[in-house]
Amino acid sequence: ARADWALKQTHVGGACINETLVHVAQEELPFGGVGQSGMGHYHGKWGFDTMSKLTPVFRQSRLNGLGLFMPPYRPIVRRLLGLMKRF
């Protein structure tokens, strides 16, 4: 009953009842603190997510339509721009 009360009153990354260090050995449970006591969880997928940083990468294909509007202009683009200026 006191353990349940203590768990409800605190914000922790993980807890052990009637034990001290066995939590770290449980690979099925995420291990780590909160706030200044830890930066996340360190086991399994939780550890991978904690230690990983997503790096978005955009790669422009060779068929880049935006390139038509950037100098140096090719002859066909110059003709198209000339036509557009008329309207």
DSSP secondary structure string, 49-65? HHH----------S--G
Q: Tell me what pLDDT residue 33 has.
A: 67
Q: Tell me what pLDDT residue 11 has.
A: 77
Q: Tell me what pLDDT residue 28 has.
A: 72
Q: Tell me what pLDDT residue 56 has.
A: 66
72 against 60, higher pLDDT: 72
User: What's the mean pLDDT in 63-77?
Assistant: 76
pLDDT, tens digit (0-9, with 9 covering 90-100), for 11-54: 777 777 887 677 777 777 766 666 666 666 666 777 777 677 76
